Amino acid sequence: MTAARYRMHDMEKLGGTSEEDDLEMDMEVKEEDDDDERSRAIAVEEIGGSFFEQEAASSDQIQIHGVGGRRSRPKEEKERTKLRERHRRAITARILAGLRRHGNYNLRVRADINDVIAALAREAGWVVLPDGTTFPSRSSPTSSQAGRTAEAAPLTTAVMPTPTMSPLRGLSPAGGEVRAGDYLQCRLKGVYTPPSAYDSRYRPGMMIGGGEACNENSPLIASCLEVNNDKQILGLPRRMQERDFAGTPYVPVYVMLPLGIVNAKCELVDPEGLVKHLRILKSINIDGLKVDCWWGIVEAHAPLEYNWHGYKHLFQIVRELKLKLQVVMSFHECGGNIGDDVCIPLPYWVAEIGRSNPDIFFTDREGRRNSECLSWGIDKERVLRGRTALEAYFDFMRSFRIEFDEFFEDGIIHSIEVGLGPCGELRYPSYPIKHGWRYPGIGEFQCYDQYLLKSLRKAAEARGHSFWARGPENAGCYNSIPQETAFFCDGGDYDGHYGRFFLNWYTQLLVEHADHVLSLAKLVFEGASVVAKIPGIYWWYKTASHAAELAAGFYNPCNRDGYASIASMLKKHYATLNFSCAEVQNLGQHQGFPEALADPDGLFWQVLNAAWDVSVPMSNENAFPIYNRDSYNKILDYAKPFNDPDGRNLSSFAYLRLSPALMEGCNFIEFGRFVKRMHGEAVLDL
Alpha carbon 450 to its chain centroid, in Å, reads 34
Cα separation, 223 vs 216, whole angstroms: 10
Cα separation, 214 vs 316, whole angstroms: 59
Q: At what angle do helices 564-572 and 600-613 cross, to 10 degrees?
A: 40
> What residues have CB less than 8 Å from 224, skipping those under 6 apart?
152, 155, 234, 235, 236, 237, 238
Cα separation, 476 vs 490, whole angstroms: 14
Cα separation, 629 vs 667, whole angstroms: 10
Q: Find the largest Cα–Cα distance for the chain.
A: 95
ω into residue 136 within 30 of 0, thus cis? no
Residue among 433, 414, 409 at smallest CA distance from 422: 433
- CA torsion 507-509-513-515 (nearest 10°) is 70
Burial class (CB in 10 A: 0-12, 13-18, 19+), 676: middle
Contact, 610 vs 618, CB < 8 A?
Answer: no
Residue 214 pairs with which residues in a beta bridge?
Answer: 206
Write the CA distances from 623 to 443, 466, 551, 582, 639, integer angstroms: 19, 41, 20, 7, 15
Contact, 487 vs 540, CB < 8 A?
Answer: no
* Catalytic site positions: 425, 621
Alpha helices in 107-162 (DSSP H): 113-123
Cα separation, 648 vs 639, whole angstroms: 9
Radius of gyration of the chain from its Cα atoms, rounded to whole angstroms? 29
Write the CA distances from 82 to 14, 27, 76, 110, 136, integer angstroms: 14, 11, 10, 18, 37
Residue among 610, 541, 535 at smallest CA distance from 578: 535
Residue among 478, 552, 553 at smallest CA distance from 512: 553
Write the CA distances from 312 to 81, 316, 390, 539, integer angstroms: 66, 6, 25, 40
* Contacts of the segment 90-95: beta carbons below 8 A, 24+ positions apart: 90/11, 90/14, 90/15, 90/16, 92/116, 93/15, 93/16
DSSP notation for 391-435: HHHHHHHHHHHHHTHHHHHTT-EEEEEEP-SGGGBSS---S-GGG
Cα separation, 297 vs 348, whole angstroms: 9
